[in-house]
Amino acid sequence: MDWTLLLIQMLNGLQLGVLLFLLASGLTLVFGIMDFVNLAHGSFYMVGAFVCASLTFFTGNFLIGVILAIPVVALVGVITEKIVVQQLYARDHLDHVLATFGLILCFDTLVHMIWGAQGIAVPLPKWLDGQVELFGGIVFPTFRLLIIGTGLTIAFGLYYLVNHTRLGMLIRAGASNRTMVSALGVDIQLLFSLVFALGAVLAGLAGMLISPITEASIGMGNEIIITAFVVIIVGGIGSMKGAFIAAMIIGLIDTLGRSFLDDMFKVFMSAPAAETSAPAVSAMLIYILMAAILAVRPQGLFPPKVR
Amino acid sequence: MLKRTLLGVSLASLMAASAWGAEVKIGFVTTLTTPAAVIGKDMQDAVNLAVEHMGGKMGDLDINVIFEDDGFKPEIGKQKTDKLVKQDDVTFVTGFIWSHVLLASRKSALDGGKFLISSNAGPSQLAGKLCHENFFSTSWQNDQTPMAMGEVLNQQGVNSIYVMAPNYAAGKNMVAGVKRTFKGEIKGTDFTKWGKDAQLDFSAELAKAKASGAEGIFVFYPGKAGGAFIKQYQQQGLQGKVPLYSVFTVDAIALPKLQAAKFEGVLGSRMTQFWDPTLDNPQNKKFVDGFKAKYGKYPSFYAAQSYDTMYLIKSAVEAVNGDLSNMDGMRAAMKKANFPSVRGEFTYGNNHMPVQNFYLREVVKDGDGTWTTKVVKTVFENHQDVYAKDCPMK
């Protein structure tokens, strides 16, 4: 066993997990508190990436691009909530799914009209584009390290927000019993708008962070949103802690599966057979995990206390 | 009275349709949505340019190209092919970026008695056992380009490589191709998820490649995955340590984006290909200059193949003087490859795959500072794919 490689792959898995957490935290908030299924959550991921890409080219610096893009995505989130989502709270889940699926198509087409089909490659400043040497001779890309750092900081911030502030108390109360919260005189409409915008910003930030690695492209959110749903189902819908732990587990399983499954398969089958079957199986791993957890704990690993 | 007038009008319009409205219908299946639309757009642009260069006519017939979007999915590609064959009754079904889409659509077109011309995909099956008298290609068989790259690796004395490709028909052909000619050791092979939700983050695979100690990395990542791969290859610090050898990854679609983002690392990288914008022949000059003038960018190889497709069809239509019922005549004409091709002269093998040259190309800055490619040398001359012998046609 190559321990250096294993450590690098764990860091890669952590980085994927952090990105998934940024997406899933917003999704789980919106789903858990408002009982609203938002398939279009991934669209904020895409919008974040495109806005940030444009601002990066405009200002010439990726970090300034990110900072300026955050309020823009928040605004897009608020507008979406006001115009479309608000009309849907009273409807059932099927209507949510239909309407937000329509939103995905609208966002994809809108982005196509504004930025074109080709996607944008986002440049990084020189000091972020290289690698750093960590302990024990492990060389890791600086930017991926920055993603891990940012993600963990935000996770801690969210933990503090949810558990130690008045807003967090309302969010938790809303997740447990929102009728009671509004009966107690809390402006639930405002709370919903805030939570929705927060979710949009977190998703947008994830999109901004991934764009220098892959690129800003149409439909990028639709690819990752499925995995984000797996995360919140495994973690327990509405639970921030669950989303964090599940995101880390899924990030690690996906990355380690891609890295080591073919070697494991080669132990008991021929090399060509292993090379063909390993990618198929590793793509399924997270769904197998989800199925297993649903069978044992249908409510997820860490469901909110009262529903 | 009114009835009679109406009848007269409709009769007249019917006659008009047969007298002046005679046209050749060409169905063009490509990807116009999803991020891969950028490839489909390039092909569409090239087809429109070809129609313009032909003055909208093949012989006396008007050209009617019907574009269809396969959505990057084999089942949709097949549906659209069915529609073109049954509803539009086209004479030629062409386009096809993706091998799995072409394989799924093949039967619909050929059983419907239409010509099927691939403007890109070259799966081994269609070159070998599934070859068909009405199937032609204006591109290449998937294995050929990586075979040329394997030969280049041998010539450069590279002893070991790590191989990465997407997990679909073409990815497997590409890997088979490079393994066929490369004489050194393959340190590892990774097939990554492909399709609409393709894997674009290659951190795990690149870490494995680095740890494997291979002397080079061979990749095939078409479309947007190519740009993403190049960036991550650079971010992982592999540049200058483990050289990159690619096919269909760095192209005229990825280069403008990489240039805009100043990814200088891609300059000087090398790939093999059957065509290059700098190839010196009159048709290529007309094509490249025309494309740059009309769309303000270099054409990709996808565009070059699509442009050739239109001229191949034109040669067939003109050989039978516009009699589209004469399938035998058109087939015989296409078999001769008697049209001006942007790649220069070539011939068709028994399986209707081009027998053509393959070049080593390098990414350079042109006179205006735009990033493009130029030919370094010829790797294979008149190269025929290895599956031709499995094809029962003579």
Which of B273, B308, B328 is at the close of a domain? B273
Question: Is A81 part of any domain?
Answer: yes
Question: Is B361 part of any domain?
Answer: no
Say whether pLDDT at A204 is over 70: yes
**Which whole-number Å values give the CA distances from B160 to A2, B92, B237, B326, in the listed order?**
20, 44, 19, 53
What average pLDDT does the structure give for chain A? Answer: 90
Say whether residue A17 is in contact with chain B using an 8 A CB cutoff.
Answer: no
Cβ neighbours for B210, distance < 8 A, ≥ 6 positions apart: B236, B238, B241, B242
pLDDT for B378 equals 96
| Identity of the residue numbered B232 | Q
pLDDT for A239 equals 86
Question: Is B241 part of any domain?
Answer: yes
For residue B211, what are its two tokens?
């740890």
**Which whole-number Å values give the CA distances from A185 to A8, A31, A34, A164, A179, in the listed order?**
51, 22, 17, 21, 10
Contacts of A261 in chain B (CB under 8 A): none
Question: Are B360 and B375 a contacting pair, CB within 8 Å?
Answer: yes
Residues B81 and B205 in one domain: no
CB contact under 8 A, B237 and A219: no
In the block, tokens 């994830």 appear at A206
Among B31, B163, B168, B224, pick the best mutation site for testing chain A contact (most A Cβ within 10 A).
B224
Separation of alpha carbons B236 and B107, rounded Å: 44
Domain count, chain B: 2
| CATH assignment at residue A86 | 1.10.3470
Which of B256, B273, B290 is at the close of a domain? B273
Question: Is A119 part of any domain?
Answer: yes
User: Which contiguous run of DSSP H or E holds residue B118?
Assistant: strand B115-118
Residues B149 and B268 in one domain: yes
Residues B267 and B288 in one domain: no
Residues B12 and B82 in one domain: yes
pLDDT for A67 equals 96
Q: How many Å lie between the alpha carbon of A262 and the closest alpha carbon of chain B? A: 9
Say whether pLDDT at A160 is over 90: yes
Domain that holds residue A218: 9-130+140-296
Residues B40 and B109 in one domain: yes
β-bridge partners, B191 = B165
Contacts of B260 in chain A (CB under 8 A): 57, 120-121
Residues B301 and B242 in one domain: no
Domain that holds residue B207: 144-273
Residues B135 and B171 in one domain: no
pTM score, whole prediction: 0.85
The count of CB pairs under 8 A between chains A and B is 120
Separation of alpha carbons B25 and B185, rounded Å: 49
pLDDT for A181 equals 84
Separation of alpha carbons A254 and B202, rounded Å: 12
Phi, psi of B118 (to 5 degrees): -85, 130
In the block, tokens 């949009």 appear at A200
**Which whole-number Å values give the CA distances from A33 to A90, A172, A177, A297, in the listed order?**
14, 8, 8, 21
Question: Is A302 part of any domain?
Answer: no
Domain count, chain A: 1
| CATH assignment at residue B115 | 3.40.50.2300
Q: Which of B35, B192, B199 sits opposite A119 (nearest CB)?
A: B35
Question: Is B375 part of any domain?
Answer: no
CB atoms under 10 Å from CB of B252, counted, come to 20
Residues B81 and B194 in one domain: no
Residues B57 and B124 in one domain: yes
Tell me which residue of B176, B375, B363 sits closest to B274, measured CA to CA: B375
Separation of alpha carbons B252 and B297, rounded Å: 8
Separation of alpha carbons B112 and B91, rounded Å: 10
Q: Where are the alpha helices (DSSP H) in A165-270?
A: 166-176, 178-183, 188-210, 220-235, 240-268
pLDDT 10s digit of each residue in chain B, 394 long? Answer: 455 555 554 544 444 444 446 899 999 999 998 878 889 999 999 999 999 999 999 999 999 999 999 999 999 999 999 999 999 999 999 999 999 999 999 999 999 999 999 999 999 999 999 999 999 999 999 999 999 999 999 999 999 999 999 998 899 999 999 999 999 999 999 999 887 778 889 999 999 999 999 999 999 998 888 888 988 998 888 888 899 999 999 999 889 988 988 888 888 888 999 999 999 999 999 999 999 999 999 999 999 999 999 999 999 999 999 999 999 999 999 999 999 999 999 999 999 999 999 999 999 999 999 999 999 999 999 999 999 999 999 7
Residues B58 and B180 in one domain: no
**Which whole-number Å values give the CA distances from A190 to A72, A186, B261, in the listed order?**
19, 9, 40
Residues B159 and B136 in one domain: no
Say whether pLDDT at A1 is over 60: no
Question: Is B255 part of any domain?
Answer: yes
CB contact under 8 A, B201 and A210: yes
Residues B252 and B166 in one domain: yes
Question: Is A62 part of any domain?
Answer: yes
CB contact under 8 A, A117 and B41: yes
Say whether pLDDT at A306 is over 70: no
How, if at all, do strands B185-192 and B160-166 pair? parallel
pLDDT for A267 equals 87
Question: Is A274 part of any domain?
Answer: yes
CB contact under 8 A, A121 and B34: no
For residue A88, what are its two tokens?
């849907």
Question: Is A301 part of any domain?
Answer: no
Which of B252, B273, B294 is at the close of a domain? B273
